[in-house]
Structures are given as structure tokens and as C-alpha cells.
Amino acid sequence: MSRGPQNAPQALSSGAEVLRPLSGYSGCDVLLMRQGESLFVRKVSGSRDYNDRLLRQMQEQETFSRYENRPFGVPRIFGSGHLDARFYFDSQYVPSRDLISFISDSDHFEIAKMLRKLQEIIVFFQRTPHRTSACSLLDYCRDKVESVAALIEVSEGEELAGFRWILDRLQRSDHAEATLSHADLTLENILIDASGRLWLIDFLDSSYSHYWLSIAKTFQDLEGHWFTLRNHPEPIPASKLLPVRRQWDRLVAEIDPRYGEFHYLLLALMLFRIVPYAKGRTDGLEERLRQRVRGFLQTQIARLEKESR
């Protein structure tokens, strides 16, 4: 979904100009810019309060770019600064299309090759230790649920009860040590260029890093259908989406079959995290998100109850 700039700052006085807004749902303005014959992408904080977080996201992107032998591209960062008291940074523009568009108009063979490349990225995350985190995976999930509930001013209800019940039941199963992870690995944040190389963009900061969270983010689109809620301009036909999701299920199981035990909890959490951004909208997005969250929680609860019999 393309957005127009919200109070977009003026281009640099050196002659850079705004060509058009790029898609985004992060509270930032993402702009395609031109200076002379060169194109680049500028990401601008949506408010002064978001400046520090966008700075951390830039630093995360720089960190990813320094990993050697990584099976994916990372856009180079050219510079950063402040305009109208809002932080921004400029990075390489990669001519490409996102994976939703790629899947929408590619055949089964091309999609299968792409999914194998995505599997290689997740395996790279799995094998790359991350800096020590102060919490475990389930502690992170619990903290995130409570923080989202506070943002949307909910202290009880079906979603919170479901999350709390599941987290209590799974607590003994939490042996996940921190690994490298892209905190927002939606299909829109995975680009494929003309040579078939995958590029990752929009590196969000996170208090905990584990490759299961990256896997769950991919399912946010493939099973949670987030891109349809966002009205992506090139939606994947339902007849094609289900086989792709099933194939990705199998590839994820090859990486780590334990992920499946946590899948619907993590998928529900991914969508629940978006609810504060949808609160107050008049298009019904908040309720549609929460309906899907409740559905995934019910599936996770049913699985846990079946296993305990």
C-alpha cells in the first residue's frame, strides 16, 4: 500500500528531489529520491519521538551489511541527518520487486527456487549467534503481549487470556537461545532483483532476536494474509497462495521441526503487534486483525489441549 508523505521534509538544498513515496507501514516516510542521475531511498522518522528508534534501525541495517558470506543483499547506507527535527537516513535504491509481487506472477518452478533461497537466509540466521539478550523467547513474547495490551488500553479479554494461557503452558519448553534475526521479515521487506538475488530491507530493532521470529514474520503474510489486509497492489491469488504456504511449511520443518510447536502463538503475536498502528482507523482494520489473532490463539490452544490428553 503506497502512502503519501506525512509532513514530508523538504529535499536537501544540494538538489535532491522527491520522486515518489514508497510503500510502508512503519510510521515513517519512505521516499524515492534523485540527486543528479542517482537514485536513493530516504527513510524519515514520522515524528521526533521516533528519531531514536529509526537511528537504531539504521544501525541494525549497518550491522547486517557487515556479515560476511551472507546469502542476501543489504542496501548500503549513504548518510543520515535531521530535517525539520526528524531523523532520516539515505540508502541504496535496489531496482527490484517484493516477494508478494514475485509470487503473484511467477510459476511454481521459479517460486520453489526463491523459497530455497529464503530457506538459506533463515539457516544463516539460525547459525549466527546474536548478542546476549536479557530475556528468553517466551519472556519476550509475554513482555510484548503486555506492552501491546497497554498501548491499546486492554487489560482483559479473549486475546490476553489466550496469550497468557498458552505462555504458561509452553514455559517449560523454552530453550531458544538468541540468534540473528530480521525483526520484520514480511514478504514486502524481501526484494528480488533482476539477477534473482534476494535483498532484505527495513531492519527493525528488537529487544530479543531469534530466527523463529523471522519465520513467523514470513507466515504473517503467507498464512495471516497481512498483505491482503493492507491492500497490496499485487495480491497473490488464493489458488497460488496455499501451495506456496505448504511448501514453505515443509522447508521450515527441514530447518527446525521444533518451530511448529510455537507457530500459532508466534503468528498471533506478529499480528497482535500491529494492532496499535491500526487503532482508531475507520476501515475496520483493527477488528480484522484481532479476529485473526483470536483464531490463531484458538488453534494453538486446541493443539496444546490435544497433546495433553
Mean pLDDT to the nearest integer, 7-22: 67
CATH number at residue 36: 3.30.200.20
Same domain, 282 and 210: yes
- Identify the domain containing residue 136 by its residue range: 97-308
CA 143/CA 123 separation, integer angstroms: 27
Mean pLDDT to the nearest integer, 229-240: 79
Q: Is the pTM of this model over 0.85?
A: yes
**Going by DSSP bridges, is the β-strand pair 77-83/86-92 parallel, antiparallel, or unpaired?**
antiparallel
- Identify any residues that bridge with 97 across adjacent strands, giving them in sequence order: 192
Where is the domain boundary, 92, 116, 135? 92
* Residue 8 maps to a domain: no
Q: Looking at the 3D structure of the chain, how many domains does it have?
A: 2
| Cell numbers linked to 288 | 480484522
Where is the domain boundary, 92, 123, 146? 92
CATH number at residue 213: 3.90.1200.10
Same domain, 127 and 59: no
Same domain, 78 and 209: no
Amino acid code (one letter) for 106:
S
Where is the domain boundary, 55, 71, 92? 92
Which is nearest to 181 in space by CA: 234, 218, 138?
A: 218
Same domain, 125 and 85: no
Enumerate residues 6+ apart whose C-beta is below 8 A from 156.
none
| Residue 53 pLDDT greater than 60, yes or no | yes
pLDDT at 132: 61
| Cell numbers linked to 146 | 503486555
Angle at 291 between CA 287 and CA 294, to 5 degrees: 135
Task: Report residue 78: phi and psi, to 5°.
Answer: -95, -30
**Going by DSSP bridges, is the β-strand pair 38-44/29-35 parallel, antiparallel, or unpaired?**
antiparallel
Q: What is the pLDDT of residues 159-169, one digit of tens each?
A: 999 999 999 99
Same domain, 156 and 219: yes
3-state SS string over the chain? CECCCCCCCCCCCCCCEEEEECECCCCCEEEEEEECCEEEEEEECCCHHHHHHHHHHHHHHHHHHCCCCCCCECCCEEEEEEECCEEEEEEECCCCEEHHHHHHCCCHHHHHHHHHHHHHHHHHHHHCECCCCCCCHHHHHHHHHHHHHHHCCCCCCHHHHHHHHHHHHHHHHCCCCCECCCCCCCHHHEEECCCCCEEECCCCCCCCCCHHHHHHHHHHHHCCCHHHHCCCCCCCCHHHHHHHHHHHHHHHHHHCHHHHHCHHHHHHHHHHCCHHHHCCCCCCHHHHHHHHHHHHHHHHHHHHHHHHC
Same domain, 55 and 166: no
Enumerate residues 6+ apart whose C-beta is below 8 A from 7.
84
Q: What is the pLDDT of residues 100-117, one digit of tens each?
A: 999 999 999 999 999 999
pLDDT at 14: 56
pLDDT at 134: 66
Confidence of residue 5 (pLDDT cuts 50, 70, 90): very low
Which is nearest to 300 in space by CA: 256, 271, 272, 268?
A: 268
